[in-house]
Amino acid sequence: MTIEAKPSPRERLLEAAATLTYRAGVGIGVEALCKAAGVSKRSMYQLFASKDELLAASLERRTSAYVAMLLPGADDDREPRERIMHVFEQVESQAGMPEFRGCPFLAAQIELKDQDHPASRVAHEVKANLTAFFRAEAEQGGADDPDLLARQLSLVFDGASARAGIGADKLTGLVAPTVTTLLDAAGVR
């Protein structure tokens, strides 16, 4: 007989924060977070200095899974153009899911407004790393201006994510041609 260990209060709080903030936004109350996690407010404040710290830890915790889902693996030997397209194929695939609400890191930055908020700093780093990925691939692919192309690709990624996340647009047939046009114009092989 196998006995599964119950997740710790910390793990339950991190999971509740990830789920609830993705669904309802970062304005979710401490009581709702604690109730969903089955943890008292006192316990939450023993584990995290504040709700802000809980939000930051929750975003930090899901960073590696998000990056693994989005970016091609280190052993992916496709050309830079295909590696860039992979990212947009992933977001298009995710956007087709009924529970899709957009990029959780972009949403946190938009909702929080305060760039010094701990969760905003985590989100900013994730978004900066995505732009750095685009830049490295653009440079390796021979782009005329890798910095500009990386910023353009980030703009398309965030715009596509946001529009699909609020149900304003379907990404199928829209994102790939847009990215292809940018890659062609930049001379990426």
DSSP annotation string for 143-168:
-SSHHHHHHHHHHHHHHHHHHHHTTS
Measured CA to CA, the distance from residue 26 to residue 123 in angstroms comes to 13
Rounded (5°) CA angle 46-105-5: 45
Measured CA to CA, the distance from residue 170 to residue 167 in angstroms comes to 7
Average pLDDT over residues 56-82: 95
Q: Record the tokens describing residue 135, joined without a space.
A: 């830049």
pLDDT over 90 (residue 1) = no
Average pLDDT over residues 32-49: 96
Span 70-116, pLDDT tens digits: 999 989 999 999 999 999 999 999 999 999 999 999 999 999 999 99
Residues with Cβ within 8 Å of residue 133, at least 6 apart in sequence = 71, 87
- Enter the pTM of the model: 0.92
- How large is the C-alpha radius of gyration of the chain? 19
Q: Record the tokens describing residue 110, joined without a space.
A: 């938009």
Q: Is the CB of residue 37 less than 8 Å from the CB of residue 16?
A: yes
Domain architecture of the chain: domains with CATH: 52-186 (1.10.357.10)
pLDDT over 80 (residue 4) = no
Res 2: pLDDT: 62
Strand, helix or coil for residue 179: helix
Q: Which residue type sits at 121? A: R
Average pLDDT over residues 57-82: 95
Res 189: pLDDT: 86
Q: Record the tokens describing residue 98, joined without a space.
A: 């009924």
Rounded (5°) CA angle 143-91-109: 90
Res 3: pLDDT: 67
Q: Chain centroid to CA 131: how far?
A: 12
Span 153-166, pLDDT tens digits: 999 999 999 999 99
pLDDT over 80 (residue 123) = yes
Q: Which of 73, 63, 71 is nearest to 88 (CA)?
A: 71
Average pLDDT over residues 129-136: 98
